[in-house]
């Protein structure tokens, strides 16, 4: 590719969500509401898990990790986006853009791995109930969690290095409300074929492997549940998996919409990042508490203790 300008880019310009000109105030209220809901909901789940000894089990240990993820993931893009919706500068520094790419893929990969680990946890609990505490002991849970975060860090580091070792000489307009690989790569003034191939393969392979492992776990789970003779037992087993399955559908649904659409859709390309970055993290606390009596009870006790402490 021919060099277009020898002046290196020191900052990028975030163009925002396409086709939303004139809706800045509405979008600000929308994103602020969802962001605050996300923070509040996930902090409450963490409070319930940390304060209740009944929730000190592998399933809730991983749910606590998911809540931490759901706090940080929208924080990658939402604060900056809300600032420019208020009329602040749309510019983001070169280092800030690189940080957004790193943390977006670090946390996105972490979510993929966490859902896979949580599926294995449900598989162990339903298919091997007598050996569950041995299979999912504290050491195994710790190793799985560390492996999840460290593997995601490696994944994101490789992608960020490949993207930002390329020269950027202008233009500097990022066609979205945050920095991500496709939008940033299109601005490079050098051959991007290696970075495109590696990033597409890396992201695709991680997502596909996680999805297949989740599918395998739930296939085995469904087979085991169908062998349960009592309808009450089947219902109880299904209910322990329903929240996790709903979260997986919310995570992979937008991905399938993006990659399985017959032709590129600018409207869909605008909506999917909003769903992934803003909406889904705010829905997970509702999904995991509405039908979970243990979490609701623990949360009620924690809040009542807090009220009594403040009133004392």
User: Which 3-state string (H, E, C) describes the chain?
Assistant: CCCCCCCCCCEEEECCCCCCCCCHHHHHHHHHHHHHHHHHHHHHHHHHHHHCHHHCCHHHHHHHHHHHHHHHCHHHCHHHHHHHHCCCCCEEEHHHHHHHHHHHHHHHHHHHHHHHHHHHHHHHHHHCHHHHHHHCCHHHHHHHHHHHHHHHHHHHHHHHHHHHCCCCCCCCEECCCCCCHHHHHCCCCCCCHHHHHHHHHHHHHHHHHHHHHHHHHHHHHHHHHHCCCCHHHHHHHHHHHHHHHHHHHHHHHHHHHHHCCCCCCHHHHHHHHHHHHHHHHHHHHHHHHHCCHHHHHHHHHHHHHHHHHHHC
- On the question of pLDDT at 3 being above 50, the answer is no
- What's the whole-number average pLDDT of the chain? 84
Domain count, the chain: 1
Domain residue limits at 35: 11-115+128-207+248-258+277-310
With respect to residue 39, please indicate whether it lies within any of the assigned structural domains: yes
With respect to residue 218, please indicate whether it lies within any of the assigned structural domains: no
Which CATH number goes with the domain that contains 17?
1.20.1070.10
**Does the pTM of the predicted model rise above 0.85?**
yes
pLDDT band (50, 70, 90) for residue 154: very high
pLDDT digits (tens, 9 = 90+) for 171-225: 888 888 889 888 898 888 888 888 888 888 888 888 889 989 999 999 999 888 8
pLDDT digits (tens, 9 = 90+) for 193-203: 888 888 888 88
| pLDDT of amino acid 120 | 94
- On the question of pLDDT at 240 being above 80, the answer is no
With respect to residue 89, please indicate whether it lies within any of the assigned structural domains: yes
């Amino acid at each position: 590719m021919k060099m277009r300008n020898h002046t290196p880019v020191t900052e990028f310009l975030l163009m925002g969500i396409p086709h939303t000109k004139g809706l800045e105030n509405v979008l600000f209220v929308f994103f602020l509401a969802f962001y605050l809901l996300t923070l509040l909901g996930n902090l409450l789940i963490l409070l319930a898990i940390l304060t209740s000894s009944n929730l000190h089990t592998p399933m809730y240990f991983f749910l606590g990790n998911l809540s931490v993820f759901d706090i940080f993931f929208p924080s990658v893009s939402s604060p900056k986006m809300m600032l420019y919706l208020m009329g602040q500068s749309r510019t983001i520094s070169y280092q800030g853009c690189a940080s957004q790419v790193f943390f977006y893929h670090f946390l996105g990969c972490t979510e993929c791995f966490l859902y896979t680990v949580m599926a294995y946890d449900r598989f162990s609990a339903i298919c091997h109930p007598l050996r569950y505490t041995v299979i999912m002991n504290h050491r195994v849970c710790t190793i799985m969690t560390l492996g999840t975060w460290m593997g995601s860090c490696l994944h994101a580091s490789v992608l960020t290095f490949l993207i930002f070792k390329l020269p950027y000489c202008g233009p500097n307009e990022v066609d979205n409300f945050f920095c991500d690989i496709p939008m940033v790569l299109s601005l490079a003034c050098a051959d991007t074929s290696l970075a495109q191939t590696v990033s597409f393969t890396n992201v695709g392979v991680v997502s596909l492997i996680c999805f297949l492992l989740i599918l395998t776990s739930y296939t085995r789970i469904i087979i085991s549940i169908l062998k349960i003779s009592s309808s009450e037992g089947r219902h109880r087993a299904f209910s322990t998996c329903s929240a996790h399955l709903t979260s997986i559908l919310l995570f992979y649904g937008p991905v399938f919409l993006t990659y399985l659409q017959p032709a590129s859709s600018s409207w869909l390309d605008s909506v999917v990042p909003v769903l992934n970055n803003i909406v889904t993290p705010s829905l997970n606390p509702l999904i995991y508490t509405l039908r979970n009596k243990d979490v609701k009870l623990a949360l009620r006790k924690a809040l009542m203790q807090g009220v009594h402490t403040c009133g004392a």
